[in-house]
Amino acid sequence: MPEYPTGIGTSDIDSISLLGHDLAGDLLGKVSFGELAYWLATKRRPTPGQLRVFEAVLVSLADHGFTPTAIAARLTLYSAPDSLQGAIAAGLLGGGSRFLGVTEDTGVYLHNVVETLGETSEWTDARWDDLARATLTASAGTAIPGLGHPVHKNGDPRTPVIIDIAREAGVKGPHLELFEAIGRVHPEILGRTLPLNGAGVAGAALADAGLPVELLRGFALLARTAGIIGHLAEELQNPIGPDVYREVDGNAVYRKSVESSD
Amino acid sequence: MPEYPTGIGTSDIDSISLLGHDLAGDLLGKVSFGELAYWLATKRRPTPGQLRVFEAVLVSLADHGFTPTAIAARLTLYSAPDSLQGAIAAGLLGGGSRFLGVTEDTGVYLHNVVETLGETSEWTDARWDDLARATLTASAGTAIPGLGHPVHKNGDPRTPVIIDIAREAGVKGPHLELFEAIGRVHPEILGRTLPLNGAGVAGAALADAGLPVELLRGFALLARTAGIIGHLAEELQNPIGPDVYREVDGNAVYRKSVESSD
Amino acid sequence: MPEYPTGIGTSDIDSISLLGHDLAGDLLGKVSFGELAYWLATKRRPTPGQLRVFEAVLVSLADHGFTPTAIAARLTLYSAPDSLQGAIAAGLLGGGSRFLGVTEDTGVYLHNVVETLGETSEWTDARWDDLARATLTASAGTAIPGLGHPVHKNGDPRTPVIIDIAREAGVKGPHLELFEAIGRVHPEILGRTLPLNGAGVAGAALADAGLPVELLRGFALLARTAGIIGHLAEELQNPIGPDVYREVDGNAVYRKSVESSD
Amino acid sequence: MPEYPTGIGTSDIDSISLLGHDLAGDLLGKVSFGELAYWLATKRRPTPGQLRVFEAVLVSLADHGFTPTAIAARLTLYSAPDSLQGAIAAGLLGGGSRFLGVTEDTGVYLHNVVETLGETSEWTDARWDDLARATLTASAGTAIPGLGHPVHKNGDPRTPVIIDIAREAGVKGPHLELFEAIGRVHPEILGRTLPLNGAGVAGAALADAGLPVELLRGFALLARTAGIIGHLAEELQNPIGPDVYREVDGNAVYRKSVESSD
Complex ipTM: 0.95
Q: Which domains does chain A have, with CATH numbers?
A: 101-214 (1.10.230.10)
- What is residue C151's predicted lDDT score, i.e. its pLDDT? 85
**Does C42 sit within 8 Å of D229, measured CB to CB?**
no
Contact A75, B13 (CB under 8 A): no
Instruction: Average the pLDDT over A120-138 and give the result.
Output: 97
List pLDDT tens digits, range C183-206: 999 999 999 999 999 999 999 999
Q: How many Å lie between the alpha carbon of C246 and the closest alpha carbon of chain B?
A: 12
Residue C95: list chain A partners with CB under 8 A.
Answer: 79-80
Element (H, E) at B21: strand B21-22
Contact residues, chain C, for B7 at CB < 8 Å? 254-257, 260
Q: Report whether pLDDT(A173) > 60.
A: yes
Weakest-pLDDT range from A236-245, C202-211, D228-237, D253-262: D253-262
Least confident of B70-84, B141-155, C46-60: B141-155
- Could you tell me which chains touch chain D, where touching means 3 or more CB pairs under 8 A? A, B, C
pLDDT classification of D257: cutoffs 50, 70, 90? low
Q: Cα–Cα distance between D237 and D247 in angstroms, integer?
A: 20
Which amino acid does the sequence have at D59?
Answer: V
Q: Among B146-150, C49-53, C231-235, name the one with the lowest average pLDDT.
A: B146-150
Q: Determine the residue among D58, D84, D152, D245 to mutate to test chain C binding: the one whose Cβ has the most chain C Cβ atoms within 10 Å.
A: D84
User: In this predicted structure, which of A141-145, B68-72, D195-199, D228-232 has the lowest mean pLDDT?
Assistant: A141-145
Residues of chain A found within 8 Å of residue B219, distances taken between Cβ atoms: 229
How many angstroms separate the CA of residue B69 from the nearest CA in chain D? 7
Interface contacts C/D by beta carbons within 8 Å: 280
- Asked which of A153-162, B8-17, B51-60, B213-222 is least confident by mean pLDDT, the reply is B8-17
Which alpha helices (DSSP H) does chain C contain, by range? 33-42, 48-61, 68-79, 84-93, 101-114, 125-138, 158-168, 174-190, 198-208, 216-237, 241-250
What is the distance in angstroms between the CA of the first residue and the CA of the last residue of chain D? 58
Total-model pTM: 0.96
Mean pLDDT of B238-254: 94
Is there a contact between B75 and D71 if contact means CB atoms under 8 Å apart?
yes
Higher pLDDT pick, D10 / B235:
B235
| CB atoms near residue D236 (< 10 Å) | 15
pLDDT of C258 reads 43
A154-170 pLDDT, tens digit per residue, is 899 999 999 999 999 99
Asked if B3 lies within 8 A of C256 by C-beta distance, the reply is no
* pLDDT mean over B222-234: 97
Distance from CA of C110 to the nearest CA of B (A): 23
What DSSP state is assigned to residue A62?
A: S
Decide if C254 and B17 are in contact by the 8 Å CB cutoff.
Answer: yes
pLDDT band at A257 (very low <50, low <70, confident <90, very high): low
Average pLDDT estimate for C103-129 = 96
Contacts of C19 in chain B (CB under 8 A): 260, 262
- Which of B4, B7, B9 is closest, CB to CB, to C256? B7
Task: Say which DSSP state B65 is in.
Answer: S
Q: For residue D252, report the phi and psi dihedrals to the nearest 5 degrees.
A: -70, 140
Give contacts of A43 with chain B, Cβ < 8 Å.
233
CA nearest neighbour of D25 among D13, D34, D14, D38: D14
- Cβ distance D90 to B90 less than 8 Å, yes or no, reads yes
Given a cut of 90, is residue B220 above it in pLDDT?
Answer: yes
CB count within 10 Å of CB B20 equals 17
Task: Give the number of B-D residue pairs with CB atoms closer than 8 Å.
Answer: 141
Kindly list the partner chains of chain A, i.e. chains with 3 or more CB atom pairs below 8 Å.
B, C, D
Query: β-pairing, B252-254 with C4-6?
Result: parallel
Residue C257 has pLDDT above 90, yes or no: no
Least confident of A55-64, B252-261, C102-111, C145-154: B252-261
CB contact under 8 A, A254 and D85: no
* Contact residues, chain B, for C256 at CB < 8 Å: 7, 20
% helix / strand / coil in chain A, to the nearest 5?
60, 5, 35
Contact criterion met (CB below 8 Å) for A102 and A144: no
Neighbours of D246 (CB within 10 A): 12
Q: If we measure between CA atoms, which residue out of A111, A128, A115 comes closest to residue A207?
A: A111
Q: Which residue of B has its CA nearest to D69?
A: B76
Q: Would you say the C-alpha torsion A217, A220, A222, A228 has a positive or negative sign?
A: negative
Rounded to a whole number of angstroms, the distance from the CA of D89 to the nearest CA of chain B is 7
pLDDT over 90 at B255, yes or no: no
Residue C260 reports pLDDT greater than 50: no
> What are the start-end ranges of the E strands in chain A?
4-6, 9-11, 16-18, 21-22, 252-254
Tell me how close the Cα of B50 comes to any Cα of chain C, in angstroms: 14
Candidate from B4, B17, B261 with C-beta closest to C253 = B4
- How far apart, in Å, are the Cα atoms of C85 and each of B81, B86, B228, D218, D221? 12, 8, 20, 7, 7
How far apart are alpha carbons D236 and C41 in whole angstroms? 11
CB spacing of C244 vs D62 below 8 angstroms = no
The residue-averaged pLDDT of B161-186 equals: 98
D contacts of C236 (beta carbons < 8 Å): 214-215
Residue type, C203: G
| Averaged pLDDT, C59-75 | 95
pLDDT at A258: 43
- Reduced to 3 states (helix: H, G, I; strand: E, B; else coil), residue A253 is strand
Q: Which subunits sit against C, judged by 3+ Cβ pairs under 8 A?
A: A, B, D
Read out DSSP for C2-25? Answer: --EEESSEEE-SS-EEETTEEIII
DSSP state, A46?
P
Contact at CB, B72 and D80, closer than 8 angstroms: no
Residue D259's pLDDT is what? 47
What is the distance in angstroms between the Cα of A173 and the nearest Cα belonging to chain D? 20
Which residues does chain C have within 8 Å of residue B44's beta carbon, measured at their own beta carbons? 259-262
Q: Which residues of C touch D6 (CB under 8 A)?
A: 65-66, 231, 234, 240
SS3 A176: helix
Is the pLDDT assigned to residue C144 strictly greater than 90?
yes
Percent of chain A with pLDDT over 90: 86
Q: Do residue C33 and residue D31 have CB atoms under 8 angstroms apart?
A: no
